[in-house]
Amino acid sequence: MNKHVRAPLFAAILAASAAPAMADEIIPYVEGFAGYGIGAMSKNGDIVSGTGFAGDFGSSGVYGGGIGLKMPIDKTGVAIRFDLTGSAFPNLGGSNHTGTLDDGSTINAKVKLNAITYIATIYADVDVGLPVVPFVGFGLGGAEKRIGTVVFNGPAGSFATVNGSNHTDVAWSGTVGATYSVIPHFDLDLSYRYTYAGKAESGTTFTDLSNGVTSSLDSQISSHVQLHQFLATIRYLF
């Protein structure tokens, strides 16, 4: 056989024999998680002037799930994982949003914020010879935030509202944590995830509750949202 034919043929045979082994190393999985989330602003503002919500978005339970693939790299002791996850933060908002009226008095506003994130994340699981395997991850995706009706409150009670609005942005995240293999096929993760979720925005309709008169705001009340999440994840590897 011609040597120019033998070399490619030999390479093809090696690749074909290696393919099943590589396929065996790629492990699909499903996961579900729950935990505690904190919504923070990335800058200050004044909710009366509309320069920002002027207060963090409180806390909420977090829940979600996803699907992924685990691809071990034996020689380095590092396993690469990739997953697609969705997370829900149903009860963010808070009543610590303040502003200053023309007469110098301070009022606060109650805000309801729901957030949903969709993130594709790549992780590096590092085997350090311990029962737990630490990992780091970086993700990219999107976030949808819904601000409910903003209710302004003064000493005499509620006096005005601004309608709510939806806003969707690109989101990115960073994750650190550790994995423990509970039993074969089941892993438990404990992790912290930071997500930059883009803007949350109100609507543009202002209603004076004393007379029911509505008017339009010059611009939406807007703040950038950061989500801090402390999560427990159960993963089933097929």
Q: Tens digit of pLDDT for each residue in 96-141?
A: 898 888 888 888 999 999 999 999 999 999 988 899 999 999 999 9
Domain holding 29: CATH number?
2.40.160.20
153 by Cβ neighbours in 10 Å (0-12 / 13-18 / 19+) ranks as middle
In a domain, 51, yes or no: yes
Written as one string, the DSSP assignment of 162-221 is E--EEEEEEEEEEEEEEEEEEETTEEEEEEEEEEEEEEEE--SEEEETTT--EEE-SS--
CA 209, 210, 213, 217 torsion-angle sign: negative
Please indicate, yes or no, if residue 1 is contained in any of the structural domains. no
Sequence-ordered strand ranges (E) for the chain: 27-41, 59-73, 78-100, 106-126, 132-147, 150-154, 157-162, 165-183, 186-201, 205-208, 214-216, 222-237
For residue 226, give its domain range. 25-237
Q: Is the pLDDT of residue 18 over 50?
A: no
Residue 20 covered by a domain: no
Ramachandran bin of 157, using left for φ above 0, alpha for ψ from -120 to 50, beta for the remaining angles: left
* 13, part of any domain: no
Mean pLDDT of the chain: 88
The reply to whether 170 falls in a domain is yes
pLDDT at 224 over 90: yes
**pTM, full prediction:** 0.86
pLDDT the model gives residue 194: 98
In a domain, 7, yes or no: no
Higher pLDDT, 88 or 6: 88
Q: Are the CB atoms for 188 and 147 separated by under 8 Å?
A: no
Residue type, 210: S
**Residue at 78 is within a domain:** yes
Residue 40's alpha-carbon distances to 78, 102, 183, 228, in angstroms, are 33, 27, 37, 8
Q: Are the beta carbons of 192 and 229 closer than 8 angstroms? A: yes
User: Are residues 166 and 203 in contact, defined by beta-carbon separation less than 8 angstroms?
Assistant: no
Q: Is the pLDDT of residue 3 over 50?
A: no
Conformation bin of residue 102: beta by default, left when phi > 0, alpha when psi is -120 to 50: alpha
**Sorting pLDDT into bands at 50, 70 and 90, what band is 24?**
low
State the total domains in the chain.
1
pLDDT average, residue stretch 68-85: 89
Q: Which residue has the higher pLDDT, 170 or 75?
A: 170
What is the C-alpha separation between 210 and 36, in angstroms, rounded? 38
The 10s digit of each residue's pLDDT in 178-211 is 999 999 999 999 999 999 999 999 999 999 999 9
Cβ within 8 Å of residue 35, ≥6 positions away: 61, 62, 63, 229, 230, 231, 232
**Percent of all residues in the chain with a pLDDT value above 70, rounded to a whole number:** 89
Residue 16 has pLDDT above 50, yes or no: no
Q: Is residue 165 part of a domain?
A: yes
